[in-house]
Amino acid sequence: MVKELIPPLQAYKNREIKRHELYKELTGIKGVFVPELGNTTLKRIAPFKEEYFPVAQIVPSIDIVHNRYVIEIMRGCTRGCRFCQGGFTYRPTRLRMPEEIIELAKKGIQLTGYEDIGFLAFTSSDYPYLIETIKWIRKELQDTFVSLPSLPIDAIEENMLKELRHLRRFSITLAPEVVTEKLRKVINKNVPLELIYRSIELAERYKYPHVKLYFMIGVPEEEEEDIHALIDFLKDIEKKFRRLRFKAAISPFVPRPHTPFQWVGQEPPERSLEKIRQIKDAFRKSKRMQITYHNPYMSFLEGIFGRGDEKLAQVLEIAYRNGAIFDSRKEFFDFSKYEKAFYASGIDPYKYTRKRSLEESLPWEVINTEIFKPFLLKEYKKSLKMVMTPDCMKEKCTGCGVWFREGYELCRKGIRKDKEYQIELEEKKPADYYRYLLTYAFGEKFRFLSQRDIARIIIHILRKSGLRLRYSEGFVPRPHISLPNPLPLGFESDEELLYFETIEKLNRDKILQVLNKNSPGGLVFKKIEEVFNKPDWTKYSKSIVEFDIFRIPDIKGIQTNLENATIKGNKISFVFDFGKGGILKALQNATGLDKDSVRKLHFRKKRIVVKD
């Protein structure tokens, strides 16, 4: 779509067309809505083509959430949970076949050097080839680990759990949402409580330490007894599964557009807060059941803006001018700023969270998601009668409308295994390994990265360069690397060391060239030598280190306090004993400056002389 947007935007920028002509052209592109023209637009359904896949993914210099190579294995979910917007708007279901996943993984790991691959899907446990694909990755990319950061499994199968034990950073996440049979039928969550109990039992048997559970409060037809049932359920699992720790996350229900619940009213935040307090109070003394919750006032705003219209733009602007910014960070969120904005713009927020009549036209209907409105209405009415609708991918099509227009393949045949994959894994034998000491340097670009972040970047470069690092065994395998004491942030260095082990002997003639070619620049690999023992870093911390201080505004103020200093231009070189206290303290002594002034100087570590 971006490619289609570029020509009209370019023409407008080059003043070849006027603004109204631009808008007109944009409305001709499928998936674009221009409020000024009041057009309606049809959702785009992108096929799962390999050429659309971003193979060369960005590798961040610092650690971030989801710091891994990401492959979307399946898009869409047809379980039909009536509260879930994604479940309706991402239809139809699309699958990526294991062969393609393996090809993408190989290319991606070669380009990025990532150690982990994250599989993305709404419910990865619904992906029919999950176990085979994980095994295949383990076979093809031995030192690469699949991670399913959270796996919303409703019913864990034992063989799946056994296999998933090989994954890194994997924790069991269960999303019962509600615990009573009545509410299960209302929201169409087809996971009986017995299955949740069984999944928890398996988690305990396979020694998973934590289980995370997700629940909603305030769903349509909820009554006081449903909250009591939720508390009873949590108490029961806490009592029955004594080796596990639990985290129960409670979220107030928000009716979403394009779902069967788009017409229902939303519970006021005060009421949600009362329920949350009631649940929290029941576990105040508990050590193994932690209750967390989503701020009901945030849910209230989500409900308002989610089912809002263009009039709310002024509320947003006023709230922003009142200082509402970074609201998703708890410490910044201040509901009173929005309250004032609603008041100032004369808008009643409850108008947006009220129950909608079935006849009124809804603001979000300008976007056609290809789901028939009569289908959503039928689902809504079924929820009131507590009648469930089966998963159309496992049973028959329930006529949501997507197939009607697209003639989509999976809608015709459902999700089932069309192919069998026999992946045999060879047993890992302890291999010989080789020890290396790498000398590297880094400059301005890297001086504010921690030693840990730089080490992670180096691991990526080593892997990208085809080195087979030696990994530890166990639940979270890590490469065998080690480093000396770190430099403080802000320092450059001409000589840093990193020890690592490989399971293949290196060709040292070429390796430096390859490493430097794969370096992002600013990080230079200078020397690599085979060693026969792991270095004794304590020796290095007692060594003599030569430093340069450069870009000093008042060089004269410093030079008199330095011993063994040589002055050249705006640079002073000096040597001091690393062993006497921390580096900053030593530099303070050497320069005669106070702590703050020392921190403002620009240092470069030149050389380490190891003392015997």
Q: Kindly list the residues in this chain that would bind ligand SF4 in the complex (CB under 6 A).
A: 78, 91-92, 392, 397-400, 402-403, 411
Question: Least distance (Å) from ligand SF4 to the CB of residue 280?
Answer: 39
CA dist., res. 199 & res. 105, Å (int): 30
Q: Which is nearer to ligand SF4, 156 or 392 (CB)?
A: 392
Question: Least distance (Å) from ligand SF4 to the CB of residue 122?
Answer: 13
Question: Least distance (Å) from ligand SF4 to the CB of residue 398?
Answer: 4
First to last CA, the chain: 65
Tokens of 272: 């949600």
Question: Least distance (Å) from ligand SF4 to the CB of residue 388?
Answer: 14
Q: Which is nearer to ligand SF4, 42 or 111 (CB)?
A: 42
CA distances from 263 to 379, 381, 517 (A): 11, 11, 58
CA distances from 373 to 13, 83, 368, 369, 483 (A): 39, 15, 10, 10, 61
Q: What are phi and psi of 146, to 5 degrees?
A: -85, 135
Q: Which is nearer to ligand SF4, 96 or 470 (CB)?
A: 96
CA dist., res. 208 & res. 241, Å (int): 12
Beta strands in 412-518 (DSSP E): 434-442, 481-482, 492-502
Q: Which is nearer to ligand SF4, 202 or 411 (CB)?
A: 411
CA dist., res. 173 & res. 163, Å (int): 16
Q: Which is nearer to ligand SF4, 341 or 411 (CB)?
A: 411
Give CB contacts under 8 A, 24+ apart, made by 491-494: 491/447, 491/583, 491/603, 491/604, 491/605, 492/442, 492/443, 492/444, 492/446, 492/447, 492/602, 492/603, 492/604, 492/605, 493/441, 493/442, 493/604, 493/605, 494/441, 494/604, 494/605, 494/606, 494/607
Q: Which is nearer to ligand SF4, 403 or 603 (CB)?
A: 403
CA dist., res. 363 & res. 349, Å (int): 15
Q: Which is nearer to ligand SF4, 397 or 437 (CB)?
A: 397
If DSSP codes are grouped into helix, strand and coil, which group holds residue 56? coil
CA distances from 481 to 68, 113, 458, 600 (A): 20, 16, 11, 32
CA dist., res. 55 & res. 70, Å (int): 9
535 touches 499 (CB < 8 A): yes
User: What's the chain's Rg over C-alpha atoms?
Assistant: 30
Tokens of 200: 């928890």
Question: Least distance (Å) from ligand SF4 to the CB of residue 119?
Answer: 22
Q: Which is nearer to ligand SF4, 376 or 411 (CB)?
A: 411
Q: Which is nearer to ligand SF4, 418 or 530 (CB)?
A: 418
CA distances from 98 to 101, 122, 161, 596 (A): 5, 17, 20, 57
Compute the Cα dihedral for 472, 476, 481, 484 and give only its sign: negative
Question: Least distance (Å) from ligand SF4 to the CB of residue 92?
Answer: 5
Q: Which is nearer to ligand SF4, 91 or 604 (CB)?
A: 91
Q: Which is nearer to ligand SF4, 400 or 601 (CB)?
A: 400
Question: Least distance (Å) from ligand SF4 to the CB of residue 232?
Answer: 35
Question: Least distance (Å) from ligand SF4 to the CB of residue 91?
Answer: 4
Q: Which residues make Cβ contacts (< 8 Å) with residue 389, sequence separation at least 6?
A: 80, 188, 379, 382, 398
> Which segments of 283-415 does DSSP mark as H helices, in order?
296-306, 312-321, 335-345, 350-353, 373-384, 402-406, 409-413
Question: Least distance (Å) from ligand SF4 to the CB of residue 371?
Answer: 8
Tokens of 452: 């840990």
Q: Which is nearer to ligand SF4, 78 or 493 (CB)?
A: 78
160 touches 199 (CB < 8 A): no
Q: Which is nearer to ligand SF4, 77 or 217 (CB)?
A: 77
Q: Which is nearer to ligand SF4, 91 or 470 (CB)?
A: 91
Question: Least distance (Å) from ligand SF4 to the CB of residue 260?
Answer: 13
Q: Which is nearer to ligand SF4, 223 or 395 (CB)?
A: 395
Which of 417, 419, 397 has the alpha carbon at shortest distance from 92?
397
The DSSP code sequence of 22-49 is HHHHHHTSTT---GGGT--EEPP-----
Q: What is the DSSP letter of 444?
A: G
